Chain A
Amino acid sequence: MSAATRLTTRHWAPPLVGLSSMLLILAAVEILIRVGLINRYIVPLPSKVLASFGRVIVEEDIFHRFLLTAWECLAAGVLLTVFGVAIGVLLHRAPLFRHACETWVAAMASAPLVLAYPLFLVIFGRSALTIIMLAFIAGLAPVILKTIEGLSATRRVLINVGRSFKLTPAQQFWKIYFPSALPTIFVGIRLGLIFALINVVGVEFLINFGGLGQLINELAERYDLAGTYAAICFVILVSVVFFVTTERAERWLTAAD
């Protein structure tokens, strides 16, 4: 076996083992259900779940639901980017306010804000606005904290270059601070977007309104087991694709830095 073949085998072996293990587990579950060791009214046959994907996609109008969830995430994402970055910049420029509020913002990040969804239901009604506002609030803290972190980590030499060119404060911000902090700010936006997606789908499920989250709730209430599992798999797939895409964008930005 040549060195190149050994290298390729070493590279592909772990993912193959991982994938085959998952397929083996699914096959074992299929067999255990078929022989009656697992109750098929609690866990559906994996083959049935796979077969129900097409039905869920066509009959449940999954594309429209996906767009609705994506729109809610996008709206929350725009809000948390605009307000999160703006608050972060303001706190960075006012050190006294920063020292007074940074701990509160960090505490806000660890508070279970999504539990306030009944309050948001009262304020905004059972509508997309409730979902968007809750996702916005839940994703705000990491954007603020990472914006402050990014701006504070601007290298002294870059700031001095700006001063030597006698840049105005606005020019100093747009030409020095902001480009330098952008990769870190994007890390915050990415975290905020992940929080937003989690909250959007979660609240859709809880209040039975909107896109993909509501679909899971509806299928579970209809006791469509295979459909429920298929919808859960679809949501996992969407969140993984979302996570990978934002991760790639973050890597690209960090590499550009």
Chain B
Amino acid sequence: MADSGGLTRARDARPWLTPVALLRVAIVLAVLVIWQLMAISGWFYSDVVPALPAIAVALVKLLSSGDFYWNLWVTIDEIGIGLLIGGLSGLATGLVIGANTFLAKAFEPYLYYLGPTPKIIFFPVMIMWFGVGAGAKVAMGAVSCFFPIALNVAAGMRQIDQVLIRVGQSFRANPWQMAIKIYLPAMRHPIINGLRLGLGVAVIGTLLAETKMSNRGIGFLVIQAYSMFDMPRMYAILIVLFVVAIGANALVAHFGGLDQIKQK
């Protein structure tokens, strides 16, 4: 027993020394070694599978260049405004159709079936409406995130405990007080979940629009690296992009308490 307690304490002191953590390190190392062997084997074009040092140098160059951060800021700005517009309109739509069964039956099928359509096909329309500048990218982000947010809010609205609503009504709360004091706090998790899904698709919508037609932003940097055939730089941009996107997603889930729900 004493030994087992000692082992537990040792594991607690070094949580990274678990079999799972060691296996993860081994998998990462194996992937890196295989990649490097592929790069130096000569079986593949060196541009398609560049050596790890080349990618590392490109990564360092990218992260130490002011140009990258300026373009990153442009993209974050477009995604942020798109998320704000799409998120607020999605929230309002979700609240309205979630609160009214008739409206839900009348209009929710349109949202439900339009939700999974590929939003990038609307880009030509967005260009015609908002021009080739940032407006079209913001609109792409807004259109992309509107549907998951509206659908999640509507579903969340229907799941609110009726007791909470009756408590609000017994205190004679007006519609604004009901929304602020009852509905929104009770729907925190569906809203955060919708926001998380919305963020993911807004990132994709905005960046794809940037790759199609833009002269700034991270999407533009990706397509620029492609046209210059600078593969180490393209790998470096994609690595940073995936890390930022996955990190943002995890942060929203963490601060929204979604990871705690999963653990329960």
Chain A residues with a Cβ under 8 A of chain B = 13-15, 17-18, 21-22, 42-43, 96-97, 99-101, 107, 110-112, 114-119, 121-123, 194, 197-199, 201-202, 205-206, 213, 216-217, 219-220, 225, 228-229, 232, 235-236, 239-240, 243-244
Contact = CB atoms under 8 A, between A and B. Distances in A.
How many B residues touch the partner, as a band?
Answer: 35 or more
A22 B23 CA distance: 55
A156 B250 CA distance: 33
Interface of B: 19-20, 23-24, 27, 47-48, 102-107, 109-110, 113-114, 116-118, 120-125, 127-129, 200, 203-204, 207-208, 211-212, 219, 222-223, 225-226, 229, 231, 234-235, 238, 241-242, 245-246, 249-250
A202 B222 contact: no
A236 B246 contact: no
Nearest to A121: B226
Query: By DSSP majority rule, is chain B's interface helix, strand, loop, or mixed?
Result: helix
Given A97-B23, A118-B234, 10 more contacts: A14-B106, A18-B109, A115-B241, A118-B226, A119-B231, A119-B235, A122-B226, A205-B123, A240-B113, A243-B113
Nearest to A199: B118
Q: Which of A116, A118, A229, A235 has the most CB of B within 10 A?
A: A118
A116 B110 CA distance: 31
A240 B238 CA distance: 31
30 contacts: A14-B103, A14-B105, A14-B106, A15-B105, A17-B106, A18-B105, A18-B106, A42-B129, A97-B23, A99-B20, A111-B242, A111-B245, A111-B246, A112-B200, A112-B204, A114-B204, A118-B211, A118-B222, A119-B226, A122-B47, A122-B226, A205-B123, A206-B208, A206-B211, A206-B212, A228-B124, A232-B122, A239-B118, A240-B113, A243-B116
Nearest to B231: A122
A198 B226 contact: no
Given A111-B242, A111-B245, A121-B226, A229 B109 contact: no
Contacts of A235: 117-118, 121
Contacts of A21: 106-107
A145 to B, nearest CB: 12
B204 A244 contact: no
A15 B200 CA distance: 31
A229 B126 CA distance: 12
B117 A240 contact: yes
Contacts of B204: 112, 114-115
A194 B116 contact: yes
A100 B245 CA distance: 21
B225 to A, nearest CB: 7
A205 B124 CA distance: 10
Contacts of A123: 48
Contacts of A112: 200, 203-204, 207, 241-242, 245
A205 B120 contact: yes
Contacts of A239: 116-118
A115 B208 contact: yes
Contact of B124 (A17, A202, A217, A243): A217
A119 B117 contact: no
A11 B67 CA distance: 58
Contact of A119 (B114, B121, B128, B234): B234
A114 B47 CA distance: 20
Contacts of B226: 118-119, 121-122
Nearest to A118: B226
